């Protein structure tokens, strides 16, 4: 399969790595690709192209030359970046999704996968969060995802292409976080501090981490690949929650990190979470993903995910020649 993946950040690069491992030919598109990061994560077996996802004429030519069969659209800006520059957020997230979809339509691709977010849901309600559950987007970022989802569903309805909307929970993994991801960067900053070994204690604040559903990026990458391998009826949109199936409290996160770094004292500090999605009582229901694409998270246990993440992060830092010290042997 010949696949275009937009966005060379955390999701795009790991999805590329997984797709290539399954025999796909992948072109990775980004406005400002970090070639060192892409090589470290995705390797050399993909084609990297520089360009804007909202530039329709450029996209149409890219599709014409490459004859893509499928698209994974993960490019976009996150909450912090959009709040800093709403117009850039609109171009990247809304106009970008529409432009990539139009270029894909003109090229008659068979599958379009849109990476949305759990933030479209009303996360204050109890019970499992199912795909057709109540929605309550609040921030500009939330609305760019919600609007793009709905626009794409109408746009692709009745077409010869199959649309899949993927709503991941809180993603973590080795990233650069240039797009403004907040939670993933917080967790990676913690690991950086612990790895460098220059401190004896680290505070884990409830206000910063709350209760979250942590999704290791490798599980999301596998899910994306499984979406492309499990064809559903063209013209109908399939929406899938992709999560770990478990909520993790800040105190539990502190305990998990303590097991990874026994020489460092992780101190849990109570308080109220800053954001509504960190005060959750329910995880995303992954029953639809289990039945439709046979999705089962390998790293649903935060301890397993963090261990693999730590190993990958240490190797990544070594490859970038800025690992000063390590508090744990890998």
pLDDT given for residue 281 in this prediction: 85
pLDDT per residue as tens digits for the range 4-57: 999 999 999 999 999 999 999 999 999 999 999 999 999 999 999 999 999 999
Residue spans per domain, the chain: 2-169+216-242, 172-213+245-281+300-319
pLDDT per residue as tens digits for the range 111-123: 999 999 999 999 8
Is the model more confident about 324 or about 175? 175
**DSSP code of 248?**
E
Q: Could you tell me which CATH number the domain at 172-213+245-281+300-319 has?
A: 3.90.25
Average pLDDT over residues 310-319: 91
Rounded to the nearest 5°, which phi and psi values hold at 20?
Answer: -60, -40
pLDDT given for residue 232 in this prediction: 72
Q: 75-93: string of b/e by CB count within 10 Å (b at 16+)?
A: bbbbbebbeeeeeebbbbb
pLDDT at 253 over 90: yes
Check if 2-169+216-242 and 172-213+245-281+300-319 are the same fold: no
pLDDT per residue as tens digits for the range 195-246: 988 888 999 988 888 899 999 999 999 999 999 998 777 777 999 999 999 9
Percent of the chain at pLDDT > 70 equals 96
pLDDT given for residue 110 in this prediction: 93
- Residues 15, 46 contacting (CB under 8 angstroms): no
Q: Say if domain 2-169+216-242 classifies as CATH 3.40.50.720.
A: yes
pLDDT at 324 over 80: no
Contacts of 80 (CB under 8 A, 6+ apart): 180, 182
Q: What angle do CA 329, 40, 70 make, to 5 degrees?
A: 130
pLDDT given for residue 70 in this prediction: 96
């Amino acid at each position: 399969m010949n696949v275009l993946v937009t966005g060379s950040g955390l999701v795009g690069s790991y999805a590329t790595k997984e797709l290539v491992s399954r025999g796909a030919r992948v072109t990775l598109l980004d406005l400002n690709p970090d070639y060192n990061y892409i090589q470290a994560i995705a390797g050399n077996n993909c084609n990297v192209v520089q360009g804007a996802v909202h530039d329709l004429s450029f996209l149409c030519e890219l599709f014409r030359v490459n004859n893509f069969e499928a698209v994974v659209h993960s490019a976009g800006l996150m909450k912090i970046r959009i709040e800093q520059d709403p117009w850039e957020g609109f171009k990247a997230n809304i106009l970008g999704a529409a432009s990539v979809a139009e270029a894909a339509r003109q090229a008659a691709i068979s599958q379009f996968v849109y990476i949305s977010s759990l933030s479209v849901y009303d996360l204050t309600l109890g019970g499992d969060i199912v795909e057709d559950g109540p929605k309550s987007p609040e921030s500009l970022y939330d609305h760019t995802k919600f609007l793009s989802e709905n626009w794409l569903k109408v746009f692709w309805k009745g077409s010869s292409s199959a649309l899949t909307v993927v709503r991941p929970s809180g993603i973590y993994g080795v990233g650069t976080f240039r797009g403004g991801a907040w939670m993933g960067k917080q967790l990676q900053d913690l690991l950086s501090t612990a790895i460098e070994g220059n401190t004896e204690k680290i505070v884990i604040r409830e206000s910063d981490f709350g209760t979250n559903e942590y999704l290791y990026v490798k599980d999301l990458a596998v899910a994306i690949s499984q979406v492309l391998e499990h064809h559903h009826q063209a013209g109908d949109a399939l929406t899938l929650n992709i999560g770990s199936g478990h909520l993790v409290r800040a105190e539990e996160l502190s305990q998990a990190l303590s097991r990874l770094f026994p020489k460092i004292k992780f101190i849990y500090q109570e308080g109220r979470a800053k954001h509504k999605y960190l005060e959750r009582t329910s995880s995303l229901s992954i029953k639809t993903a289990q039945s439709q694409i046979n999705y089962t998270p390998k790293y649903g246990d935060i301890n397993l995910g963090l261990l693999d993440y730590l190993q990958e992060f240490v190797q990544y830092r070594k490859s970038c020649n800025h690992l000063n010290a390590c508090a744990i042997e890998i």
